Amino acid sequence: MTVRGHWFLSPRTEYTVAVQTASKQVDGDYAVSEWSEIIEFCTADYSKVHLTQLMEKAEAIAGRMLKFSVFYRNQHKEYFDYTQTHHGNVMQPSPKDNSGSHGSPISAKLEGIFFSCNTEFNTGKPPQDSPYGRYRVEIPAEKLFNPNTNLYFGDFYCMYTAYHYVIVVIAPAGSPGDEFCKQRLPQLSLSDNKFLTCTEEEGSLVFRHAQDVILEVIYTDPVDLSWGTVAEIIGHQLMSLSTANAKKDPSCKTCNISVGR
């Protein structure tokens, strides 16, 4: 008699496996083998196929598109002071944290700078509050997102709340970040996707973001603070809304796929 076992393994996870077998004898007893050698292995990140499945689930809830004009990054004053003093006023890419899907191929691997672009529905401007710090740099959208850049879908997740987050990556064409993403992430059309678009209308670039998800934008190259303006926000600092190293809710049916978390 042969019994086959099936295991549903999570991505990017280390496993240790040993096997012991038992075979039924003619007298009804079982002959039990010694334990096999221990095998250790690690499962892979999500593939483009898995990420496309995630993307399709995100597209289903993204909602209508709203116009915006700036990307913004919230941080503490010390961050901007350090950037000015030690990096010549240029924000430097750093490895993405481990927030989001457990199998995301960009977590702890892709280097970039985190930006937001969501706007308040009634004003069309960035929200007055911030989860990350009381200072904000605002960069005109065309400085980071234009026909000379490529756009990729990175992840879709939630943190045990009703809010859902979509990560997209903007990479200057031909840059190291662009090459990294081409190998691992689904590429999006700049002008025709459900999350973040750049279109030319009447001779000018027009930018739109999805209304019903919170977009997290990763830009893969350094960004000079002189491209925009830095100022203190007038709202509150809401640290409880931070997604830094946030763990994805593995039970959410909206943003999980069958291969694992």
> So what's the pLDDT on residue 17?
67
> So what's the pLDDT on residue 245?
60
In our burial notation (b when 16+ CB lie closer than 10 A, e otherwise), range 77-97 reads eebbeebeeeeeeebebeebe
- Per-run averaged pLDDT (10 residues), the chain, 261 residues: 51 63 80 75 72 97 96 95 98 94 92 96 84 91 98 95 94 98 98 98 96 97 98 70 71 84 44
Q: What is the pLDDT of residues 219-260, one digit of tens each?
A: 999 999 999 999 998 865 555 555 666 778 889 999 999 764
In the chain, where the domains are located: 48-241
Instruction: Give CA angle at 104 (103, 108), nearest 5°.
Output: 110
Q: Model's pTM, two decimal places?
A: 0.85
> So what's the pLDDT on residue 70?
97
